[in-house]
Amino acid sequence: MTALSPLAPATFPSLPVLAGVRLAGHECGIRYVGRPDLLMVELAEGTAVAGVFTRSLTCSAPVDWCKQAVAKGRARALVVNSGNANAFTGSAGLASVERTVASAAELVGCRKSEVFIASTGTIGVPLPDEKITGQLGAVRGKLVTDGWGAAARAIMTTDTFPKGATRTALIDGRPVTINGIAKGAGMIAPDMATMLAFVFTDAALPAGVLQTLLSKGVGKSFNCITVDGDTSTSDTLLLFATGQARHARIEDAKDKRLADFKAKLNDLLIDLAQQVVKDGEGASKFVEITVTGAAGASAARRIGLAIANSPLVKTAIAGEDANWGRIVMAVGKAGEKADRDRLSISIGGVEVARDGQVVPGYDEAPVTRHMKGMDIVIAVDVGVGRGKARVWTCDLTHTYIDINGSYRT
Amino acid sequence: MTALSPLAPATFPSLPVLAGVRLAGHECGIRYVGRPDLLMVELAEGTAVAGVFTRSLTCSAPVDWCKQAVAKGRARALVVNSGNANAFTGSAGLASVERTVASAAELVGCRKSEVFIASTGTIGVPLPDEKITGQLGAVRGKLVTDGWGAAARAIMTTDTFPKGATRTALIDGRPVTINGIAKGAGMIAPDMATMLAFVFTDAALPAGVLQTLLSKGVGKSFNCITVDGDTSTSDTLLLFATGQARHARIEDAKDKRLADFKAKLNDLLIDLAQQVVKDGEGASKFVEITVTGAAGASAARRIGLAIANSPLVKTAIAGEDANWGRIVMAVGKAGEKADRDRLSISIGGVEVARDGQVVPGYDEAPVTRHMKGMDIVIAVDVGVGRGKARVWTCDLTHTYIDINGSYRT
């Protein structure tokens, strides 16, 4: 067991009951012993769903399934197992998904396309789906409305803390709740990190509106984090809306009455995404990188991620070294327009480079102090336009090598 | 001083005298004490030149200079310093280059555009070019025809061994020599790795032909290596042809009489490129990744580099773990067409995955033995076409973190 991340929050937040959602974690013995490794969520009739998925071209069988199902826009059940990713398992993997879906659909009494599946853990090992289907009845008997903490724990792999967040928003003057759980860039030998996040709201919003809000929100949250630049076969983010809240139904994502909901949803997505980074393998520092002056927002994001993914930048941060030369290098390799001779860089609020040169005689003392802290703030202006972005990452430490370089067997 | 790379060759090769090239290393005290940090090469009149440079958008002042000068195609002198990269130094950096160029041109009696400059080392610190210009006369007095080893050592930064290679080729039945030196992915606190390579031949080839051959050769050598995926501001590869060999002049890169020269040049470039990887920071294993079955050669190369740059793959190799699941992940993130269900992977010649699934009951013993060696061979077929590529990298070890995470001061 890996030690608790030094960046972990003090406690798991208190997630309120959310009308139309019942959930439970369960031990089904897929890989782990003595801990829950199965999550089941049952959703009220009329629940709408939206999703975003890994861009990996070698995505897992569950991702293939969810991509198809989410297009229909309705959800009644979510089944998630940890311990086996059901990825790179060929036709056997697809058959496993189909059996699990059929079993859950029968139990809940819904269409197969209303059942969502996610798996995280070992790759390339056939999923023993009978361990899931054999336990679905039992776990359904345990469903409760306040099982959020247990749910967050059931989807953990090598996460060192469960991840959750909640927000309350107003739609047309009526309160709605948004609850989310996530698992992060943990690692299951012999496999890769997987990010799963499930967000639930009682808002009454159709799938198309949800999809628009989610796709937009993910662009400034989950798509702005990185631990090591590697892309899981299984990344899945689903947003379910049970429609139980008592506000006027809204059919247009541009409706002004959604402003507060959008803000709170985005805030919750950022919160969950940051928790994933804070549980990054071996992380000892949380790093926020703001890029301004880029040709556009996506150029800014790409520059930010080039900095955030640079092993040289990340090891310098681990070493508490305000090594802005490596930031210049990372800007240069991003492939996006930047004006070398107008580039400026601030670390911890102190401008260390301006107009493409070091600021002569800048005070190193506050910068050095900042680098010794756990929250590192870097700002870069690339001097060509008005595009901006914020991305988050963690440092690259010996513990990352320890975790990922250990023998598989 | 870092310990000698375990992957270092036993000795520096014996590079023969090459008509039209005289060279010397010299101590000018830019940063290092008690070791040469200046290389001067004087080239015979009529020397043609070609070059390829970093794609970084924050490239150094010397790179800016060389890009312009190489377009004229003639060379008489090369001046290289280690210890200071003259990168991110603004207009002061450009002025430094201009003073150095003017000084060398006057000394040699040539046009400024015939002087080539490279700098490697600390970034963001103004280059004390007076230390170079003040010593150019002295170093010119030391020029010899057999100074190859000294030249290779003068351009080292944190390289643990000097890098050189030589080949003999036949052009139209006449022998020509190709000598090359390089410095690798070393690290100068507070800065980034820089790759410099200088290749010399006595062949009589015009600049246009050289450029075609070099651009092509680099695509299968220096552009197929990676240590950490970071891109230097200063990467420079120059090819000089003194024209002293006695073969018929050849004006067309497609001329069949160049077949052997092309082959030997490419072989030398691969040799130098592999030496750079073998001196990768913290490298304990040399890794060759062959990708076949891709949509095209560049798709294959991109997939290969995605595998080679993956921290998860590299840490697994450091841990001697034949973790093919991470290879699947890296293929998926490359963004190039791949058929998950036709993917196959071999490690050390043993097929571990076929048709998108683990090979049932494959013999792990020879794979485990292979992973314990220093030369790791990975082959991936992505099952969609006939494109292929070979790339080289090293593993990611604790020593990489030690080298790059250490305090700058």
Q: A226, A260, A278: which is the final residue of a domain? A: A278
Do the interacting molecules here have an ipTM over 0.85? no
- pLDDT for B233 equals 80
Question: Is A318 within 8 Å of B401 when comparing Cβ atoms?
Answer: yes
Co-location of A260 and A138 in the same domain:
yes
Start-to-end CA span in chain A (Å): 15
Co-location of A141 and A273 in the same domain:
yes
Hey, what are A267's tokens? 């805030």
> How far is the C-alpha of A224 from the C-alpha of A221, rounded, in Å?
5
Hey, what are B65's tokens? 């200079």
Question: Is B338 within 8 Å of A57 when comparing Cβ atoms?
Answer: yes
Least CB–CB distance from A58: residue in B88, B315, B328? B328
Rounded to an integer, the average pLDDT of A21-42 is 93
Q: Which residues of A touch B323 (CB under 8 A)?
A: 189-191, 408
The reported pTM is 0.86
Closest residue, chain A, to B340 (C-alpha): A58
CATH number of the domain encompassing residue A262: 3.60.70.12
Hey, what are A138's tokens? 């039992």
Q: Cβ of B369 under 8 Å from any chain A Cβ?
A: no
Give A392's strand partners.
A225, A288
Angle between helical axes of A311-318 and A297-309 (0-180°, round to 10): 60
Hey, what are A281's tokens? 């393998």
Nearest-Cα distance to chain A for B341, in Å, is: 6
> How far is the C-alpha of A243 from the C-alpha of A46, rounded, in Å?
7
Give A198's strand partners.
A181, A238
- pLDDT for B185 equals 62
Q: Which of B315, B327, B393 to mutate to test the interface with A (most CBs of A within 10 A)?
A: B315
Q: Cβ of A372 under 8 Å from any chain B Cβ?
A: no
- Give per-residue pLDDT as tens, A259-275: 999 999 999 999 999 99
Put simply, the chain A residues between 15 and 54 with a CB less than 8 A from any chain B CB are 54
Co-location of B215 and B356 in the same domain:
no
- Give per-residue pLDDT as tens, B353-403: 999 889 989 999 999 999 999 999 999 999 999 999 999 999 999 888 887
Cα–Cα separations (whole angstroms), residue A315 to A43, A394, B234, B261:
44, 10, 21, 42
| Percent of chain A at pLDDT exceeding 70 | 95
Cα–Cα separations (whole angstroms), residue B321 to A76, A372, B313:
41, 34, 9
Q: Which residues of A touch B232 (CB under 8 A)?
A: 329
Which active-site residues of B does the annotation give? 194
pLDDT beyond 80 at B196 = yes
DSSP characters for B319-347? TT---HHHHHHHHHHT-S---GGG-EEEE
Hey, what are B346's tokens? 């071999």
> How far is the C-alpha of B266 from the C-alpha of B104, rounded, in Å?
31
Hey, what are A347's tokens? 């670390």
Range of the domain at B68: 21-278
> How far is the C-alpha of A340 from the C-alpha of A356, rounded, in Å?
5
Q: How many domains does chain B have?
A: 2
Asked if A168 and A175 count as a contact pair (C-beta separation under 8 A), the reply is yes
Asked if A362 and A350 count as a contact pair (C-beta separation under 8 A), the reply is yes
Q: Cβ of A251 under 8 Å from any chain B Cβ?
A: no
- pLDDT for B139 equals 97
Q: B278, B306, B323: which is the final residue of a domain? A: B278
- Give per-residue pLDDT as tens, A285-308: 999 999 999 999 999 999 999 999
The least confident of A228-237, B36-45, B190-199, B255-264 is B190-199
Using alpha carbons only, what angle is made at residue A52 by residues A50 and A54, rounded to the nearest 5 degrees?
A: 155
Angle between helical axes of B90-108 and B129-141 (0-180°, round to 10): 20
Residues in chain A: 409
Secondary structure (H, E, C), chain A:
CCCCCCCCCCCCCCCCCCCCEEEEEECCCCCCCCCCCEEEEEECCCCEEEEEECCCCCCCHHHHHHHHHHCCCECCEEEEEEEECCCCCHHHHHHHHHHHHHHHHHHHCCCHHHEEEEEEEECCCCCCHHHHHCCHHHHHHCCECCCHHHHHHHCCCCCCCCEEEEEEEEECCEEEEEEEEEECECCCCCCCCECEEEEEECCCCCHHHHHHHHHHHHHCCHHHEECCCCCCCCCEEEEEECCCCCCCCCCCCCCHHHHHHHHHHHHHHHHHHHHHHHCCCCCCCEEEEEEEEECCHHHHHHHHHHHHHCHHHHHHHHCCCCCHHHHHHHHHHCCCCCCHHHCEEEECCEEEEECCEECCCCCHHHHHHHHHCCEEEEEEECCCCCEEEEEEEECCCHHHHHHHHCCCC
- pLDDT for A41 equals 98
How high is the mean pLDDT of chain A? 91
A327 part of a folded domain: yes
**Residue B62 preceded by cis peptide, ω within 30:** no
Rounded to an integer, the average pLDDT of A13-19 is 97
Co-location of B248 and B346 in the same domain:
no
Asked if B268 and B13 count as a contact pair (C-beta separation under 8 A), the reply is no
Q: Which of A158, A194, A201, A242 is catalytic?
A: A194
Question: Is A401 within 8 Å of B396 when comparing Cβ atoms?
Answer: yes
Which H or E run includes B197? strand B196-201
Q: Which of the four pLDDT bands, split at 50, 70 and 90, describes residue B333?
A: confident
Give A378's strand partners.
A289, A347
CATH number of the domain encompassing residue A332: 3.10.20.340
- Compute the CA torsion angle B271, B276, B280, B286 (nearest 10 deg): -10
B6 part of a folded domain: no
Q: Cβ of A369 under 8 Å from any chain B Cβ?
A: no
pLDDT beyond 90 at A224 = no
Asked if B380 and B345 count as a contact pair (C-beta separation under 8 A), the reply is yes
The least confident of A20-24, A337-341, B200-204 is A337-341
- pLDDT for A368 equals 94
> How far is the C-alpha of A333 from the C-alpha of A342, rounded, in Å?
17
pLDDT beyond 60 at B74 = yes
**Residue B190 preceded by cis peptide, ω within 30:** yes
Residue pointed to by tokens 């791949």: B338
Q: Cβ of A134 under 8 Å from any chain B Cβ?
A: no
Closest residue, chain A, to B396 (C-alpha): A401
How high is the mean pLDDT of chain B? 91
Q: Which of A56, A157, A233, A329 to mutate to test the interface with B (most CBs of B within 10 A)?
A: A329
Asked if A311 and A391 count as a contact pair (C-beta separation under 8 A), the reply is no
Question: Is B191 within 8 Å of A336 when comparing Cβ atoms?
Answer: no
- pLDDT for A57 equals 80
- Give per-residue pLDDT as tens, B28-68: 999 878 889 999 999 999 999 999 998 888 889 999 999 99
Rounded to an integer, the average pLDDT of B71-93 is 94
A16 part of a folded domain: no
Co-location of B211 and B120 in the same domain:
yes
Q: B278, B304, B338: which is the final residue of a domain? A: B278
Q: Cβ of B55 under 8 Å from any chain A Cβ?
A: yes
Q: Which of the four pLDDT bands, split at 50, 70 and 90, describes residue A192?
A: very low
By CB neighbour count within 10 A (0-12 exposed, 13-18 middle, 19+ buried), where does A136 fall? buried
- pLDDT for A406 equals 67
Least CB–CB distance from B311: residue in A87, A90, A229? A229
B305 part of a folded domain: yes
> How far is the C-alpha of A58 from the C-alpha of A196, rounded, in Å?
17
Q: Which of the four pLDDT bands, split at 50, 70 and 90, describes residue B174?
A: very high
pLDDT beyond 90 at A228 = no
Question: Is B329 within 8 Å of A231 when comparing Cβ atoms?
Answer: yes
A32 part of a folded domain: yes
Co-location of A252 and A293 in the same domain:
no
Rounded to an integer, the average pLDDT of A386-396 is 94
> How far is the C-alpha of A271 from the C-alpha of A273, rounded, in Å?
6
Q: Which residues of A touch B372 (CB under 8 A)?
A: none
Hey, what are A179's tokens? 């609850």
Co-location of B119 and B152 in the same domain:
yes
Co-location of A34 and A130 in the same domain:
yes
Residues A300-327: b if buried by 16+ CB within 10 A, e if exposed: bbbbbbbbbbbbbbbbbbbbbbbbbbbb
Question: Is B311 within 8 Å of A357 when comparing Cβ atoms?
Answer: no
- pLDDT for A189 equals 29
Greater confidence (B187 vs A183) lies with: A183
Rounded to an integer, the average pLDDT of B78-87 is 94
Rounded to an integer, the average pLDDT of A372-395 is 96
Residue pointed to by tokens 């861009």: A55
- pLDDT for B192 equals 39
Q: Which of the four pLDDT bands, split at 50, 70 and 90, describes residue A106?
A: very high
Co-location of A180 and A251 in the same domain:
yes
Give the strand pairing for A38-43 and A350-354. unpaired
Q: Which of the four pLDDT bands, split at 50, 70 and 90, describes residue A1?
A: low
Co-location of A300 and A194 in the same domain:
no
Q: Which residues of A touch B193 (CB under 8 A)?
A: 312
Q: Cβ of A397 under 8 Å from any chain B Cβ?
A: yes
Size of interface A-B (CB pairs under 8 A): 241
Co-location of B333 and B230 in the same domain:
no
Secondary structure (H, E, C), A1-60:
CCCCCCCCCCCCCCCCCCCCEEEEEECCCCCCCCCCCEEEEEECCCCEEEEEECCCCCCC
Q: Cβ of B303 under 8 Å from any chain A Cβ?
A: no
Co-location of B81 and B127 in the same domain:
yes
- pLDDT for B141 equals 97
CA neighbours closer than 13 Å in the CB half-sphere of residue B377: 9
Closest residue, chain B, to A308 (C-alpha): B230
